[in-house]
Amino acid sequence: MTLLANLTVVTVGVLWGLYWLPLRALDDVATAGPWATLATTVTGLLVLAPAAWRGRGELQRAGWPALASLLLGGASFVLYSNGLLYGHVAVVILLFYLTPVWSTLIGRIWLGQPMTWWRYAAVGVGLVGVALVLRGSHGGLPLPHSAGDWLGLASGIGWAIASVGINRYSRTPPATTNFVFCGGAALAAGLFVLAAGSPPPLLAASALAPAIAWTLVIGGLWWAASLTLFLHAAQRLEPARVGILLMSEVIAGAASAALLTDEPFGMLMGIGAMVVVVAALLETLPAPAYASASEYRT
């Protein structure tokens, strides 16, 4: 059962690593900007509505910590989605995948999990990797520069918090769970549209059919189907492990962006991406015996 959950998270990670392709295709057809994310999340919500109605009893018993965690998770994915529209694909994905760093720190602060120098080293390596990515993409100080960068960073922090809550509190059926998740996403997407002051796109007649098709594909496959499978698996795995397995998204996203876009992806960014992956892998390895014996518990 754990193996199946692991494989599910890896597969969903690859799918979301390629998420920018249909999202930007929809934006190219409709020039929709943040409206693209709003349309696709609402579509996912509608697809999941029948399952939510059948599971309404479980939702009523879920409790506010579970519901709040799911709403925050959906909002975090919206920040990620819009970050892919406004920023460099590889940079946004790698900033999001500081999630293992934040999950480790949250596990220590929120859940009182013990910390060793081994885990602190993994956190440090992850930060170094992202610094290299930012330096390689923008030059200058290794800090987020564009709106897309900041959205990617914020989405990773939000998801780290949400994933801890989902793992600890959420026990509703996956499709019902995803309805709340997509509800948080649709609400956040609507607020983002309002904050951006973006007018609704005016579609030409020739663009209407492809825009609807892309909206249905993204909303149905990515937001409804893949996230239902993902949430099913995430309820059965530790948050840090979920973040690590989702590194498949980094590989798929960074590779596809390097091959299919003209965005900068030089040697420094490549090294930084590999360092981020190494940091995540360090989280999966057992700490050396002398590290485990010196756990920091205060």
Q: pLDDT tens digit string along 38-73?
A: 999 999 999 999 988 988 888 788 888 889 999 999
Asked if the structure places residue 207 within a domain, the reply is no
Closest to 183 (Cα-Cα) out of 72, 17, 295: 72
Asked if the structure places residue 143 within a domain, the reply is yes
pTM of the model: 0.84
Tokens of residue 200, six digits: 């609704």
Asked if the structure places residue 208 within a domain, the reply is no
Give dist(CA 67, CA 176) in Å, integer: 11
pLDDT at site 58: 83
Q: pLDDT tens digit string along 72-82?
A: 999 999 999 99
Q: SS3 of 62, please?
A: coil
DSSP annotation of 139: -
Lowest average pLDDT, out of 35-44, 135-144, 259-268, goes to: 135-144
Q: pLDDT tens digit string along 35-46?
A: 999 999 999 999
Q: pLDDT tens digit string along 96-124?
A: 877 767 777 777 776 666 666 667 777 78
Lowest average pLDDT, out of 131-140, 148-157, 207-216, goes to: 131-140
For helices 2-17 and 247-260, the axis angle rounded to 10 degrees is 20
pLDDT at site 239: 62
Asked if the structure places residue 236 within a domain, the reply is yes
Cα 266–chain centre separation:
24
Give dist(CA 218, CA 169) in Å, integer: 28
Q: SS3 of 296, please?
A: strand
Q: Which domain holds residue 246?
A: 2-197+220-292
Closest to 147 (Cα-Cα) out of 99, 91, 191: 91
Q: SS3 of 115, please?
A: strand
296: left (phi over 0), alpha (psi -120 to 50) or beta: beta
Asked if the structure places residue 58 within a domain, the reply is yes
Distant-in-sequence contacts of 6-11, Cβ < 8 A, 24+ apart:
6/233, 6/237, 6/241, 6/245, 8/229, 8/230, 8/232, 8/233, 9/230, 9/233, 9/234, 9/237, 9/242, 9/245, 9/246, 9/248, 10/245, 10/246, 10/248, 11/229, 11/248
- Counting the structural domains of the chain, the total is 1
Asked if the structure places residue 238 within a domain, the reply is yes
Other CB atoms within a 10 A radius of the CB of residue 288 amount to 11
Q: pLDDT above 90 covers what percent of the chain?
A: 31
Residue 219: band (very low, low, confident or very high) from pLDDT cuts 50, 70, 90:
very high
Asked if the structure places residue 214 within a domain, the reply is no
Asked if the structure places residue 212 within a domain, the reply is no
